[in-house]
Structure 1
Amino acid sequence: MTITTELQDVVAESLVVDGAQLIDGEWVPSHTGRTIDVINPANRALIARVPESDAEDVEHAVQAAERAFPAWRDLNATARGALIFRWADLIEQNGAAIDSLESQEVGRPSWGPPPMAAQLRFIAGQADKVQGVSLPTYSPDTVGYTLREPYGVVGAVIPWNAPGPMFATEVGSAIAAGNTIVLKPAEDAPLTPLALAKLALDAGIPAGVVNVVTGYGAEAGAAIPAHPRIRRVGFTGSPQTGRSIMEACAKNLTPLHLELGGKSPQVIFDDADLDTAIPAIAAGITLNTGQICAAGSRVVVDRRVHAEVVDRLAAAMQKVTVGPWHQQVNMGPLINARQHERVCGYIDIGREQGATIVTGGGRPAGADFADGWFVEPTLFDGVTPDMRIAQEEIFGPVLSVIPVDDEAQAIEVANGVDYGLVASVWTQSVGRAVRMTRALQAGQVGVNNALGAGVIGAPFGGYKNSGFGRTMGADSVLDWTQVKTVSMREAPLPRF
């Protein structure tokens, strides 16, 4: 296997170093001497290699973070925010290179300017808004107040589907609060996090404040929640791995937040504006090849408009263009062979359990698709709520349509899964919209939008098996702090 020009372009941009990770401000290999190939899922070409690290490398990163912590903690919050603002500027200046890098390792087509600069500017503005409160006291000679302080060294493990935004969300909030961090990106898409960490260093954020350790989840990833000197953990990924992370954190009583999977309903009533709903739903399930936890993968539709919705969704999904990252297409490949097998397996399960494929269901034909992990956008009709394709997260461009008779049944079906991440309601009735937003068991509910778009600083997180804790909102920095209560009174003068 040879290194393609993609790696040469990345190295030319000085964003990552082949075979190295970023610890204590230095590009270093793993002590194991082993590396992992980062593969372009559109053509299986080698993009770069990263270290195959383990617990010993995590220990080195923790030590670096511990050394950096006192000075970073004691730097005033406005100065920390200014460095994060500078980091955002560098990301913006390198936006084309970062977008290209993430497109190649994830497999998605270009999305244009990356969102990380805007994310970090929002976070930077929160850095010096971390405030304690004054407390009432029983006597006038006592003063009581609270301090919000960083935990110290914190850790995070992020997935492969949106490595850049995930990195900015976790790292930006953690360091804005005064923590130092050790982060393990997914082995399938570690290059964008490494590039962003390099730009953080270039922005003047001191060495050791941001450390990125690469490797497999069972080795490097598992070492983060298990580490006794990592004081808080953030994890985004599957519920299965989330449970393992939580068990590891429990041994050291380490607090954490979990952002896990979703099986999000798109509830369409008979008064919905289908001209708006249909394109949004089709785009939502095919964006990033359906590999988004918030993707609306279930269409819960009023039976009176069921046939029209199916016909229009099929037409919209048939217009979705598929291809490699460098083409002007709507959808790329799945991330790897394992994910391809998983998604195709669910398509087979849908058929076996009696659902009807309206469109898609196979692999695109042609030379552009021969080496990549491509799948067609797939629409199922005749789906019942108990089918596996209606209950389990597929994490692919597979949409299930479930007809219902009334509002009560729509609520029952929408809530009738283990997940509760995102839900959408399509209706022109204000009263129904209000009732549905209260009834739906989800951390985010959109009315007449597919993914909760258009809100700045909206807290993001889940109900039920979709996890707990919130990111991206105004409290995202506060969540990386702990509260200390101070009670102060003057000591009595000595008697002589």
Structure 2
Amino acid sequence: MAYELPQPFTGRHLIDGAWVTGRETFDRVSPSHGTVVSTSSKGGPEETDAAIKAARRAFDAGIWSRISGRERAAVLLRVADLIEANVDRIALQETLESGKPISQSKGEVAGAADLWRYAAALARTSQGDSHNTLGSDMLGVVVKDPIGVVSVITPWNFPFWILSQKLPFALAAGCTVVVKPSEMTPSSTVMMGELLMQAGLPAGVCNIVLGYGDPVGSLKSTHPDVDMVTFTGSTAVGKLITKAASDTLKKVALELGGKNPQVIFPDADLENAADAVTFGVYFNVGQCCNSSSRIIVHEDIAEDFVARVVALSKKVKFGDPLDPTTQVGAIVTPEHNARIDGYVQEAVAAGARLELGGAYLDVEGLGDQFYQPTVISSVSADMAVAREEVFGPVLSVLTFRTLDDAIALTNDSEYGLSAGVWSESVHTCLEFARRAQAGTVWTNTWMDGYPELAFGGMKQSGTGREIGKYGFEEFLEVKSVVMRVGRDSRAPWVTPRAE
């Protein structure tokens, strides 16, 4: 390596406006460089309870929940500016902990600033409804109040971006929060805490507890002082959180797994479609809930289209995540790398055809915590590689004959996060978009997103929505206020008795 890695980052809890060093710590070893890149305080029940109670006190005191939207927006806008001033520092740490390419980390961190600015706009423009048709002596008003204390639990694959899909919208609504990042990528969340303090966020409004799902995440899901849990991660853990939260009937919003198809019709722009498929399966090493890990290609063009994708896949640069030209970096853990390979070998043993890859990738000077770009054809819909979330750089190819076939294959999944369709026919695209069971449908593109557009899934891909107006309203409670105006003109319910 022609560069020197920085000293390991030291992460601490943020509780009630103070940085707290835990009695125990845990290390994160870089998946791409094999050295310790952060040492973080390890939270337990004591720190978690203290953080939740701090958030409860701050909410009930109204230091954030009852101030004006203008004041909240001003803080969020300052955070956005600070994010942009610290992109390089935050992105470097994220790459070291996650293994993703530095260019993608920089894009993720810089792009997050726009989420904060959009949330700031929502803080000032949130409104309810009024009803003046209830009679001459009645007025009804529907208001939207912050839901209260929110537990935010984020994953390792996009730690800064996904935090920014949740935190600014919760804050814009007037909520107070307790954040637990993944133990594999904790540091960018701590850096966010530093920016929040610089921006003037009052103590106790955002608290951060580092550590593991048990006990930190578990307590955040069951504590009676928590009003809502928002979680991004695996479907299996999402189900556990839903069960844990049920005893207190707190609200739960979940953004979970996906097995997202791109459907390619013969009249599509095959050059652009092949490029989008290649991007969709290898972006973030395939460790992405929106990864297009299966494609459904018309029989007439399947052979040609697969050849196009294989040719492009051979040109994608896998390697050192700190190299600005690298497009695909390391797998997050050795255990996950082995899991990816297991899916591939099982599919080949069941009769699928390996078009490319299918083995570990040894990057000179960085070891073998990488996986080759992999394309598998002759995949049947019942194979695990076609049904389960591999979460790696592995593309499964299925074929179809008719539009109905394509839609049936698309919807033959327990997931429903996103889907894509490629065709020059607007009629084909619109019919597919209307019938596909997915929270987002892309037509002739893949993975374009904007702060204005809600994101979330159907079926076992989750509940609720993030970002956009709909994501913002997840953090609000609707309250009806019914007011009588003037003298009561009704006949009395209780008639006075004559003396």
2:19 matched residue in structure 1: 27
1:288 and 2:284 are equivalent in the alignment = yes
Q: CA deviation at 1:343?
A: 0.8
Residue type at the aligned position of 1:459 = A
Map 1:107-122 onto structure 2 (within 5 A): 107-110=99-102, 111=104, 112-113=106-107, 114=109, 115-122=111-118
Q: CA deviation at 1:200?
A: 1.1
Among all aligned residue pairs of Structure 1 and Structure 2, give the percentage whose two residues are the same amino acid: 36
Query: Which of 177, 184, 191 in structure 2 is aligned with 1:188?
Result: 184
1:305 and 2:301 are equivalent in the alignment = yes
1: distance between equivalents of 2:174 and 2:450?
Answer: 27
Write the deviation string for residues 81-103 of structure 1: whole angstroms up to 9, x where unpaired: 11100000000011111111211
TM-score scaled to structure 2, two decimals?
A: 0.93
2:143 matched residue in structure 1: 147
Q: CA deviation at 1:71?
A: 0.8
Q: CA deviation at 1:203?
A: 0.7
> Tell me, what secondary structure is at the counterpart of 2:470?
coil
Q: CA deviation at 1:253?
A: 0.4
> Tell me, what secondary structure is at the counterpart of 2:468?
coil
CA contact (8 A) 1:78 1:128 kept: yes
1: distance between equivalents of 2:261 and 2:42?
Answer: 38
2:83 matched residue in structure 1: 91
1:53 matched residue in structure 2: 43
Query: Which of 269, 272, 277 in structure 2 is aligned with 1:273?
Result: 269
Q: CA deviation at 1:477?
A: 2.0
Query: Which of 443, 461, 468 in structure 1 is aligned with 2:463?
Result: 468
CA contact (8 A) 1:54 1:223 kept: no
1: distance between equivalents of 2:316 and 2:365?
Answer: 16
1:81 matched residue in structure 2: 73
CA contact (8 A) 2:98 2:332 kept: yes
1:335 matched residue in structure 2: 332
Write the deviation string for residues 228-256 of structure 1: whole angstroms up to 9, x where unpaired: 11001101111100000001111100011
2:201 matched residue in structure 1: 205
Map 1:151-300 onto structure 2 (within 5 A): 151-300=147-296
2: distance between equivalents of 1:53 and 1:225?
Answer: 15
**What is the root-mean-square deviation of aligned Cα atoms in Å?**
1.5
TM-score scaled to structure 1, two decimals?
A: 0.94
1:15 matched residue in structure 2: none
Write the deviation string for residues 273-299 of structure 1: whole angstroms up to 9, x where unpaired: 011011111011111100000111111
2: distance between equivalents of 1:436 and 1:384?
Answer: 21
1: distance between equivalents of 2:135 and 2:399?
Answer: 65
2: distance between equivalents of 1:481 and 1:230?
Answer: 14
Q: CA deviation at 1:138?
A: 3.9
> Tell me, what secondary structure is at the counterpart of 2:371?
coil
Q: CA deviation at 1:492?
A: 5.3
2:32 matched residue in structure 1: 42
The size of the alignment, in residue pairs, is 478
1: distance between equivalents of 2:480 and 2:238?
Answer: 32
CA contact (8 A) 2:25 2:41 kept: yes
CA contact (8 A) 2:363 2:370 kept: no
1: distance between equivalents of 2:295 and 2:87?
Answer: 35
1:7 and 2:7 are equivalent in the alignment = yes
1:68 and 2:49 are equivalent in the alignment = no
Q: CA deviation at 1:456?
A: 4.7
> Tell me, what secondary structure is at the counterpart of 2:224?
coil
Structure 2 unpaired stretches of 5+ = 489-499
Residue type at the aligned position of 2:77 = F
2: distance between equivalents of 1:408 and 1:477?
Answer: 36
Residue type at the aligned position of 1:480 = F
